[in-house]
Structure 1
Amino acid sequence: MNYEQYAAKLKIIADPKRMKIIDLLSCGEMCACNILTYFDFTQPTLSHHMKVLEQAGFVTVTKKGKWNHYSLNQETLTEFMKEFNQLFSSKDDCICRNKPTNKK
């Protein structure tokens, strides 16, 4: 596991507004116009949050007419959750089973 990359993804979803967006998208694909109704901020602010989530691989975007439609990227989320579970469970390839090398 790359701890730096994983921590960066955790920071992205730790934002309460992005958490809410992910929760909304867990119900299925949504148009940006519909997502926006759940928030008290502007469309450019929503676009920023969605771009951050998209760049991290958490959501995918499809253009339909003048609106973007967003959905969760299940492949990325499955891998993300697998890594999350690894942090809290013992396994054969656990980091504690690998002896550190003394670097001087």
Structure 2
Amino acid sequence: MSERSTQIRALASEPRLEILRLLKYPQQHFSGQVSADPQTFGVCITLIAEALQVAQPTASRHIDLLRQAGFITIRRYQKWSYCQRNEAAIAEYIQWLTAEIGG
């Protein structure tokens, strides 16, 4: 599957869009995270699952597709995984999409 197809598929899901929305302002949505600063280090997948009100394996599948698309990065620390938006990749995708179908 091409990179663009993966990106389009990643964004064709309300839960994945919600993950990107939540991660845009991690301090606002995940201020209770005590293991690491959500803004500088990322947000624990467990907290993302709780915010979406889904099981952690379900959240992990959504997050993995967003990672494959390049929209988020994942950092392991001890036994947890932390997610952050990849703002450069998101901006590049928006620029590509605008050029492809924009006015």
Give the TM-score band, short-chain normalised.
0.7 to 0.9
Structure 2 runs not aligned, ≥5 long: 27-41
Unaligned runs of 5+ in 1: 90-104
**Residues 58-69 of structure 1 mapped to structure 2, 5 A cutoff:** 58-69=71-82
RMSD in angstroms over aligned alpha carbons?
A: 1.6
- Larger-gyration structure (1/2): 1
Q: What is the percent sequence identity of the aligned residues?
A: 26
TM-score (norm 1): 0.73
Q: CA deviation at 1:15?
A: 0.4
Q: Is 1:48 the counterpart of 2:61 in the alignment?
A: yes
How many residues end up aligned between the 2 structures?
86
Q: TM (normalized to structure 2)? A: 0.74
Match of 1:98 in 2: none
Task: Say which SS state the counterpart of residue 51 (structure 2) adopts.
Answer: coil
Runs of 4+ in 1 over 4 A off after TM superposition: none
Residue of 13, 22, 32 corresponding to 2:20: 22
